[in-house]
């Protein structure tokens, strides 16, 4: 039987959203449908003038956003008849203004959408088969597992703490309509995942799409219609400031980039177009600092079965317990649909109250100003401060290298050992764009030198910084370290633009005012803090081995790195140079490491920054 599916779109049903957006940009994308029809009735659909904008037709057994089991159930309900699936591959969820929202509100919201994109065929039985293989003379397959083994081996491994067997099965999820606060505070707060997330640096966000707390629930009884209006007005204002700042910052960005790229009246149109595109991207990259952490994001998120068990157990251990329980609960539900045993065999409910909140010395409403003042006093004028390191790092790494190669100190002195490991001319691993350090025996010797930094960067910068999972950090629970006074980071492009700075400071003041008003009305900090802007200052402590810090510094001392992470990395490198001058010449961006050795010098391709950084690193100044 051949099944046909079609992509179709319809005009927005919400007349208020059908026109041009407030910023004057193009109107919202059309809404999309998923529909099922008997083949014999399909002609009636084609005749429907509101739904006949067919984009493509392909021979495929089921839509991208449906599973085979869903399709089978639909076919069963329709008596096994031929079906035609109508769907979209562009947008799976229709965002709309929240229920009963004020007419002047521009905020669109929707429930989180969790889809299971890829998964193991038999997650639970594969785990039990892996466990059996440990004590068998041959490889055991999941098809050999009996129900008795599911009970006995399952209980013995899970409750005995032998959890590696549940790490084999991986699940690839599509996550939509989740807040960036949830991603930062919970989903990316550990190292055992992989994500590809929608970028706020390079994607213009024309529509105010954000998380809106549920109204008058048991967890949030004080969040009524009046509080919701305060919340949504604050988000709508933030988006208006985002649009205004984008317009204010784009000319300044274009002026700097035009000078870097030597744009003149004689320049080729393609060069002018490139600078125009880069100027817009730089403008939205900086303007995003005023957007609330409630802003929605979309991602592909992959993790192992045991990590999903841990997230479900610890779903209350973040600043966003309600959203975490909802999203992780949906992820667990998707896994249960394809293999109920993976969770139902074990009693692993979410923890009611993590210890971080037990006996907390003070409520969030009293403010974290004292902590912030103490932290900032230690930090001084730095973004990142070296607070601890391995004092015998060089000697220990040299010893470790000799242990790998089997040489004596007389045959390979410390300086020679370090040069063999770190010199990109002698060690081609240093020039690899594929991060293979942990797989290279001689590079593993760099694991024994460790450095710890205290740093202060914005919420939006830390959301990128925490993706360096091998340089873990201790990040704040904002519900315990919140402050009533505005506490934020100001990017350089805004500091140097008086008009933009005025708008920016007003946006910060209004964001904190709205957050504080909700707190004063009794709204829990968990929900009020969603109004904090991306600019919110995050104070953290992070540590890493030289192996993983080298990878981070190589990537983040590039001029294309996010401004704050670049500045922090430059300061970290400079402080390490002071305590270990011998390391100085081995640290820098890819172009610095490759110059005179490999081609191309810059690994960024068409994204080359336009500046020959390698000629004078680290003294060369970054302008934008």
The per-residue pLDDT for 95 is 60
Can you tell me the distance from the alpha carbon of 239 to that of 21, in angstroms, rounded to the nearest whole number?
Answer: 11
Q: How many other C-beta atoms are found inside a 10 Å radius of the C-beta of residue 80?
A: 9
Q: Is the dihedral of CA 536, 539, 540, 541 positive or negative?
A: positive
The pair of three-digit structure tokens given for residue 504, joined into one six-digit string: 């920016």
For residue 270, tell me if it sits in a domain: no
Q: Is 195 helix (H, G, I), strand (E, B) or coil?
A: strand
Q: Convert 558-585 to b/e letters by CB count within 10 Å (16 or more is b).
A: bbebbbbbbbbbbbbbebbeeebeebee
Count of domains in the chain? 2
Same domain for 312 and 191: yes
Same domain for 187 and 83: no
Q: What is the largest CA-CA distance in the chain?
A: 87
Terminal-to-terminal C-alpha distance of the chain = 59
Can you tell me the distance from the alpha carbon of 300 to that of 64, in angstroms, rounded to the nearest whole number?
Answer: 14
Can you tell me the distance from the alpha carbon of 293 to that of 259, in angstroms, rounded to the nearest whole number?
Answer: 34
Structural domain ending residue among the three candidates 332, 357, 382: 357
For residue 158, tell me if it sits in a domain: yes
For residue 619, tell me if it sits in a domain: no
The per-residue pLDDT for 89 is 33
For residue 79, tell me if it sits in a domain: yes
Total-model pTM: 0.83
Same domain for 312 and 180: yes
For residue 49, tell me if it sits in a domain: yes
Please list the ranges in the chain whose pLDDT falls under 70.
1-105, 359-367
Same domain for 334 and 196: yes
Q: How many CA atoms lie within 13 A of 294 on its CB side?
A: 28
Can you tell me the distance from the alpha carbon of 546 to that of 418, in angstroms, rounded to the nearest whole number?
Answer: 12
For residue 420, tell me if it sits in a domain: no
Same domain for 127 and 199: yes
3-state helix, strand, coil in the chain (%, to 5): 45, 15, 40
Same domain for 317 and 200: yes
The per-residue pLDDT for 65 is 35
Same domain for 88 and 142: no
Same domain for 197 and 138: yes
For residue 22, tell me if it sits in a domain: yes
Same domain for 200 and 76: no
Is residue 420 annotated as part of the catalytic site, yes or no? no
The per-residue pLDDT for 201 is 87
Q: Is 243 helix (H, G, I), strand (E, B) or coil?
A: helix
Tens digits of residue pLDDT in 363-421: 444 568 999 999 999 999 999 999 999 999 999 999 999 999 999 999 999 999 999 99
For residue 428, tell me if it sits in a domain: no
Instruction: Please answer whether residues 332 and 314 qualify as being in contact, where contact means their C-beta atoms are separated by less than 8 angstroms.
Output: no
Same domain for 83 and 158: no
Question: Which of the following is catalytic: 150, 556, 594, 623?
Answer: 556
Note down the domain range covering 329. Answer: 113-205+296-357
Can you tell me the distance from the alpha carbon of 264 to that of 282, in angstroms, rounded to the nearest whole number?
Answer: 20
Structural domain ending residue among the three candidates 310, 325, 357: 357
Same domain for 195 and 125: yes
> 428, exposed or middle or buried, with CB in 10 Å at 0-12, 13-18, 19+?
exposed
Same domain for 18 and 117: no
CATH code, domain carrying 132: 3.30.1360.170
């Amino acid at each position: 039987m051949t099944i046909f599916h079609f992509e179709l779109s319809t005009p927005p049903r919400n007349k208020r959203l059908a026109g041009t957006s407030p910023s004057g940009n193009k109107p919202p994308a059309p809404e999309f449908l998923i529909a099922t029809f008997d083949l014999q009735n399909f002609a009636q659909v084609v005749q429907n003038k509101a739904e006949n904008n067919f984009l493509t037709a392909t021979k495929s057994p089921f839509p991208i956003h449906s599973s085979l089991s869903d399709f089978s159930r639909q076919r069963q309900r329709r008596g096994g008849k031929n079906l035609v699936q109508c769907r979209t591959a562009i947008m799976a969820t229709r965002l709309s203004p929240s229920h009963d929202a004020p007419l002047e509100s521009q905020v669109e919201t929707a429930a989180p959408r969790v889809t299971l994109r890829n998964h193991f065929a038999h997650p639970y039985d594969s785990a039990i088969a892996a466990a059996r293989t440990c004590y068998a003379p041959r490889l055991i397959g999941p098809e050999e597992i009996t129900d008795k083994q599911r009970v006995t081996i399952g209980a013995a491994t899970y409750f005995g703490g032998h959890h590696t067997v549940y790490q084999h099965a991986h699940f690839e999820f599509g996550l939509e309509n989740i807040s960036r606060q949830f991603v930062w505070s919970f989903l990316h707060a550990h190292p055992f995942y992989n994500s590809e997330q929608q970028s706020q640096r390079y994607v213009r966000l024309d529509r105010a799409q954000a998380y809106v707390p549920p109204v008058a629930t048991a967890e949030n009884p004080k969040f009524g219609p009046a509080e919701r209006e305060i919340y949504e007005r604050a988000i709508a204002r933030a988006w208006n400031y985002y649009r205004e700042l984008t317009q204010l910052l784009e000319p300044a960005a274009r002026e700097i980039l035009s000078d870097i790229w030597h744009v003149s009246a004689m320049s080729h149109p393609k060069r002018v177009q490139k600078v125009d595109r880069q100027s817009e991207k730089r403008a939205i990259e900086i303007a995003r600092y005023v957007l609330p952490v409630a802003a929605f994001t979309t991602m592909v998120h992959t993790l192992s079965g045991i990590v999903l068990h841990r997230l479900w157990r610890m779903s209350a251990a973040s600043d966003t317990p309600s959203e975490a329980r909802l999203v992780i609960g949906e992820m667990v539900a998707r896994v249960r649909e394809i293999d109920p045993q993976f969770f139902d065999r074990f009693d692993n409910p979410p923890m009611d109250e993590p210890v971080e909140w037990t006996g907390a010395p003070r409520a969030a409403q009293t403010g974290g100003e004292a902590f912030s003042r103490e932290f900032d006093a230690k930090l001084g004028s730095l973004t990142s401060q070296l607070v601890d390191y391995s004092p015998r790092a060089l000697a220990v790494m040299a010893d470790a290298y000799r242990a790998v190669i089997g040489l004596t100190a007389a045959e390979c002195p410390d300086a020679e050992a370090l040069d063999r490991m770190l010199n990109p001319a002698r060690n081609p691993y240093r020039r690899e764009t594929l991060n293979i350090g942990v797989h290279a025996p001689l590079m593993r010797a760099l694991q024994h030198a460790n450095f710890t930094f205290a740093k202060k960067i914005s919420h939006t910068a830390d959301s990128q910084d925490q993706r360096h999972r091998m340089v873990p950090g201790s990040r704040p629970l904002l519900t315990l370290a919140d402050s009533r006074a505005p506490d934020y980071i100001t990017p350089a492009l805004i500091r140097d633009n008086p008009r933009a700075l005025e708008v920016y400071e007003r946006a910060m003041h209004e964001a904190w005012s709205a957050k504080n008003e909700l707190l004063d009305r009794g709204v829990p900090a968990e929900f009020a803090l969603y109004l904090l802007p991306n600019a919110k200052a995050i104070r953290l402590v992070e540590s890493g081995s030289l192996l993983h810090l080298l990878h981070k510094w190589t990537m983040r001392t590039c001029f294309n790195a996010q401004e704050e992470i670049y500045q922090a990395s430059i300061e970290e490198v400079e402080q390490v140079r002071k305590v270990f001058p011998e390391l100085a010449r081995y640290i820098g961006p890819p172009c610095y490491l490759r110059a005179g050795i490999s081609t191309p010098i810059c690994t960024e391709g068409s994204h080359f920054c336009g500046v020959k950084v390698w000629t004078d690193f680290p003294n060369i100044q970054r302008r934008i």
